[in-house]
C-alpha cells in the first residue's frame, strides 16, 4: 500500500488549536488572580467541609495565578516543556529556532487554556464557600464562638497558602534559572541532567536514555519533562542498584529477553532454573500466578 492509500483508510486527522496574542491578553486580564480566604465553622461536618473547600479554592486560585505569571514572563515550567527533539541531521540554526518556537507556542497555549478553564471552577468554589458560610452562621447562636472558629480556620489556611506559595515561588525561580543558564531543552546543550528515560516520537526524535553510569551511580529522571523532574530536587540520584539497600530497575539480574548470559528468564536475584523454582515455591511455570512487573518512578 502507498502512503496515500494508508492515509485514506481513516478520516481522523490531527486537530489543531491556538490562541492569538489578543486572546491571551483578554483571558489573563479577566482571570481571577487573587486567592480567597473565605472561611467559617459551626459543627464538625460543616467546618470540615468549609476547610476543604477553602483549601481547594486556594489551590486552584494560586495555580491559576502562577500560570498567569509564567505566561506574562513568556517562560515554560519544566512540567510543560516538550521533550521532542529536532532531527540531528538538520543543523541549520534557523530550523532550531523555529522548532523551539513551535513547542513554546504549544506550551504557552496549554497554559492559557488551563487558566481559561480554571475560572469556572474557581467561581464555583467561591459560591460553595458562601453557601457553607451561610449555613454555619445559622447554626451558631453565639457570635463569639463563630468568630473563634473562624479565626482558627483562617490561621490554618494562612499557613497552607504560605507553604503552597513558597513551593511555587521556588519552582518559578528554578525555571527562571533554567532560562538564564540556557538549559531549557535537552537538545540544545545535551546536558545529562536533562536526559530522558523514554524513547518515542517521530523518526529521529529520540529521547536520550536517562541513565548515567558514573562511578557506580545511576540516575533516573522524569520522563515527561525535557528539563528533568518537576520535584523540588531535580537530581534524583540513587546508589548502585546492585548495592545493599539500593533500588533495582526493571529487568535487573538477567530479566528480559536476551538479558544476561542466555540462561532462562529468572526472577530478580535468581541466577539459574533451580533458583527460579525455589523462588516460586517449587511450582511449575504453568502453575505460577502471573506477577505484575514493577516499574520504579523517580
219-235 pLDDT tens trace: 433 333 344 444 433 33
Name the more confident of 138 and 211. 138
Domain around 100: 16-190
Task: Answer whether residue 36 is part of any domain.
Answer: yes
Nearest by Cα to 217 from 203, 189, 237: 237
Task: Answer whether residue 134 is part of any domain.
Answer: yes
pLDDT recorded at residue 286? 62
Please determine, for residue 142, whether its predicted confidence score (pLDDT) is greater than 90. no
Task: Answer whether residue 124 is part of any domain.
Answer: yes
Tell me: the pLDDT tens digits for 201-222?
444 444 444 444 444 444 433 3
Share of the chain above pLDDT 70, in %: 56
The structural domain count of the chain equals 1
CA 28 to centroid of chain Cα atoms: 23
Question: In this structure, are residues 46 and 139 in contact, taking their beta carbons and an 8 Å threshold?
Answer: yes
| Nearest-angstrom CA–CA distance, 283 and 145 | 67
Task: Answer whether residue 218 is part of any domain.
Answer: no
Task: Answer whether residue 127 is part of any domain.
Answer: yes
> What stretches of the chain adopt beta strand conformation (E)?
218-219, 237-238
Query: What is the biggest distance separating any 2 CA atoms in the chain, rounded to whole angstroms?
Result: 81
Question: In this structure, are residues 165 and 159 in contact, taking their beta carbons and an 8 Å threshold?
Answer: no
Task: Answer whether residue 59 is part of any domain.
Answer: yes
pTM: predicted TM-score of the whole model, two decimal places: 0.58
Please determine, for residue 239, whether its predicted confidence score (pLDDT) is greater than 50. no
Alpha-helical (H) ranges within 182-218 are 186-189
Task: Answer whether residue 65 is part of any domain.
Answer: yes
C-alpha distance across the termini of the chain, in Å: 43
Instruction: Give the position of cell 516460586.
Output: 280
| Nearest-angstrom CA–CA distance, 225 and 184 | 10
Task: Answer whether residue 255 is part of any domain.
Answer: no
CA distances from residue 128 to 39, 47, 120, 190 in whole angstroms, order as listed: 11, 13, 12, 49
Nearest by Cα to 211 from 259, 153, 252: 252
Kindly indicate the confidence band of residue 132, based on its pLDDT and cuts at 50, 70 and 90: confident
The residues that bridge with 218 in the sheet, in sequence order, are 238
Amino acid at each position: 500500500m502507498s502512503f496515500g492509500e494508508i492515509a485514506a483508510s481513516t478520516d481522523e486527522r490531527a486537530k489543531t488549536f491556538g490562541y492569538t496574542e489578543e486572546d491571551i491578553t483578554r483571558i489573563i486580564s479577566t482571570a481571577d488572580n487573587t486567592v480567597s480566604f473565605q472561611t467559617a465553622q459551626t459543627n464538625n461536618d460543616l467546618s470540615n467541609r468549609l476547610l476543604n473547600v477553602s483549601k481547594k479554592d486556594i489551590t486552584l486560585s494560586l495555580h491559576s495565578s502562577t500560570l498567569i505569571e509564567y505566561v506574562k514572563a513568556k517562560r515554560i515550567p519544566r512540567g510543560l516543556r516538550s521533550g521532542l527533539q529536532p532531527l540531528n541531521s538538520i543543523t541549520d540554526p534557523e530550523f532550531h529556532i523555529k522548532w523551539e518556537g513551535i513547542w513554546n507556542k504549544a506550551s504557552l497555549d496549554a497554559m492559557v487554556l488551563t487558566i481559561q478553564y480554571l475560572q469556572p471552577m474557581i467561581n464555583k468554589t467561591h459560591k460553595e464557600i458562601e453557601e457553607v458560610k451561610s449555613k454555619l452562621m445559622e447554626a451558631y447562636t453565639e457570635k463569639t464562638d463563630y468568630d473563634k472558629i473562624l479565626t482558627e480556620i483562617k490561621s490554618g489556611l494562612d499557613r497552607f497558602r504560605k507553604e503552597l506559595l513558597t513551593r511555587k515561588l521556588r519552582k518559578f525561580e528554578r525555571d527562571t534559572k533554567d532560562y538564564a543558564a540556557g538549559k531549557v531543552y535537552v537538545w540544545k546543550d545535551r546536558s545529562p541532567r536533562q536526559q530522558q528515560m523514554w524513547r518515542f516520537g517521530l523518526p529521529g526524535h529520540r529521547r536520550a536514555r536517562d541513565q548515567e553510569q558514573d562511578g557506580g551511580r545511576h540516575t533516573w529522571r522524569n520522563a515527561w519533562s525535557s528539563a528533568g523532574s518537576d520535584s523540588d530536587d531535580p537530581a534524583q540520584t540513587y546508589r548502585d542498584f546492585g548495592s545493599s539497600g539500593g533500588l533495582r530497575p526493571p529487568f535487573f539480574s538477567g530479566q528480559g529477553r536476551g538479558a544476561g548470559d542466555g540462561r532462562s528468564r529468572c526472577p530478580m536475584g535468581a541466577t539459574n532454573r533451580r533458583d527460579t523454582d525455589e523462588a516460586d515455591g517449587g511450582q511449575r511455570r504453568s502453575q505460577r500466578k502471573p506477577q505484575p512487573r514493577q516499574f520504579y518512578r523517580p
